Chain A
């Protein structure tokens, strides 16, 4: 706002300066810049040079001693701040990288450990299952062998009994049919029949 008012005042002052600047009483021939021989312009031209030197010297001393060092300090401060921030960011990045690497190695270790544990468990379970199945198979084989032995015994005893029963039956039949029976003959006949049917 103050700046705007300053500029507005400056703009308003310009026509004022132009109007206050009265034109020369003696007309100026040619370029006013070169009218060193003109009674009024000549004096003003020389005065302009003297004032220019004074005003420029003032500008130089104001800039060199006050304004520019201060502006330079502001810019230097910013550069220093940016450099420090970049440095801090760099350090933080290195730290983060290190943390990341540590995290990665620990993850790797944990994964390897887990893999080993799983493999061990699988192995143990396999061995256990193998042992159990082997024991079961042995028991079943034993039972099968026992059962076969019993069957053999039963068959043998049954085969033994067949001859007696067949002889008795045949003797009884023959006795009924012919009235008498010779025990020995019947036994021989039965043995012959059994032998011919493969059941001796």
Chain B
């Protein structure tokens, strides 16, 4: 699949294909969605195990679940303040969903659903719509003052208001494209260097020695990708928190 007629095919790894036989075909349930279910199941089992143990002195698994909980709780509290408490489950779900999507993608044969712009844009849209609805609920029509900062000279309004509206709309794009581009770039690089290993490995006696170089690059890339997996999940969650802060406090 990777090497077809000595060309590098780095993109077919992102192709969707229906799983679960006839059912998958009928309802367009792809392997991407299957990994979403796996991510949700893993999140559920982690948090359930954490709650079920409930030990005063946590073990390793419980400490993992509790540190995830306290990490996001602290993030929401720091960014949004005490009013942010009720949005904590939302930010937590976003964080765990993106984190497990990125991490599951690091397993061999696995599919990285965060490498699909359709997925990241939908998540960003969910965040954007939720934030806007929360802002409208809390501030009503006063929310629209967000697009014209207090104290700015009135004659600047024709410039400031369009810029603010575009920047508000572009949150969705920047949030989704950042995650999508990071995951695609990482997986394409891994695939390209893995293909180099195969191509160079076939070059006679010296082949395996030359192939060791792209292999070493791939080893480094895997480590780097784990960093990116955590970092992008963190970025997604903290930007969601910052947008929630704007929705709650309007600047």
Contacts and interface: CB of A to CB of B under 8 A. Distances in A.
Contacts of B36: 51-52, 55-56
Nearest to B121: A49
Nearest to A45: B118
A58 B18 contact: no
Contacts of A34: 117
Interface centre among A28, A45, A51, A81 (most CB of B within 10 A): A51
Nearest to A18: B109
Interface stretch (A8-16, A125-133, A182-190): A8-16
Contacts, number: 159
A31 B14 contact: yes
Nearest to A81: B56
Interface in B52-93: 54, 56, 61-62, 65-66, 69-70, 88-90, 92-93
B97 A59 contact: yes
A47 B28 contact: yes
Chain A interface mostly: helix
Nearest to B86: A64
Interface of A: 3, 10-11, 14-15, 17-18, 20-24, 28, 30-34, 41, 43-53, 55-56, 58-60, 62-64, 66-68, 70-75, 77-78, 81
A68 B69 CA distance: 8
**A-B interface, 5 closest residue pairs, ranked by CB to CB distance from nearest:** A47-B28, A70-B51, A64-B89, A67-B47, A21-B17
Given A28-B12, A44-B30, A48-B32, A67 B19 contact: no
Interface residues of B, number: 58
Contacts of B92: 63, 68
B17 A24 contact: yes
Contacts of A47: 27-30, 33
Contact of B66 (A17, A31, A75): A75
A53 B122 contact: yes
A51 B113 CA distance: 12
Given A23-B15, A52-B119, A68 B47 contact: yes
Contacts of B51: 67, 70-71, 73-74
A49 to B, nearest CB: 5
